[in-house]
Amino acid sequence: MGTILSHFTGLDPDPIKPAASIALILSGCWAVWTDAARLTSPKSATQSLGFLFALGGASEIIGLYTGLPFGAYTYTANWFPTIPLPGGKNYPLLLPFAWTMIVGAAALAAGPLKRPILIVFATAALATLVDFVMEPVMVKSLNYWSWQSPTHSFDAPYQNAIGWFLVSALGVLPFALALAKSEQKASIVDAGILILFGHLWLMLVIGTVSKLNQIPMVGLYFITFILATASMTTGLVRQSPKKTSPELP
């Protein structure tokens, strides 16, 4: 609502914009950790998501200086808060949290597959797809980062998709193993899907009011619709606790 109001009234959201970004990502991470702790254990959730947090954050530092594994890119100061790194590089402090939210939510959505290899592959594929379609919004509408050589109409090089898949697959390994071993049945099987859907819905609104190119917008509409459908479907088939009848004397 704030994005739409700001667009049509011309009002500058000023500090509300970065505050909303921080609240969105941190609340998403909290939701991922909460469900992960319930499905595994608080200790396991902290360790596995901590590994994902560290790997995602480290991969961005490596990427800024080497162009691997995502391609050559730079962050602007728009993604508040940022810290300066040697060589004039900007590093948004929310980067590791964003990795944890997106990949962690994708893992929760893939958790019912139960086999670690399937969870890893499905998580990496879903996280990569989500990033692929949100790139134009982050690059053009929000101007959070820029690519030196984008190679397709989604405003990112194809190498970025490969990098996202590899980092997501490696980062989710401990979490996938914990989810596969869990005997706890998911009472909110669509938690991960809902987190991704909420994030993409925001990207969709921003992209729509910014009048982005139709090709990436079609991708955003499509994946958002699929996630919404999946969320409603899993909600409809969710098993309710069985009622036990009292034993007859």
49-59 residue pLDDT tens: 999 999 999 99
Structure confidence at residue 186 (pLDDT): 52
- Domain residue extents for the chain: 14-237
User: Which regions of the chain are under pLDDT 70?
Assistant: 7, 14, 150, 152-154, 184-190, 214-216, 231-249
5-59 residue pLDDT tens: 776 777 777 677 778 889 989 999 999 999 999 899 999 999 999 999 999 999 9
Tokens found for residue 38:
């319930």
Give the integer Cα–Cα distance in Å for 75 and 87.
Answer: 13
**What torsion, rounded to 10 degrees, do the Cα atoms 68, 71, 192, 115 define?**
-50
- Residue 103 contacts residue 168 (beta carbons within 8 Å): yes
Structure confidence at residue 244 (pLDDT): 46
pTM above 0.75, yes or no: yes
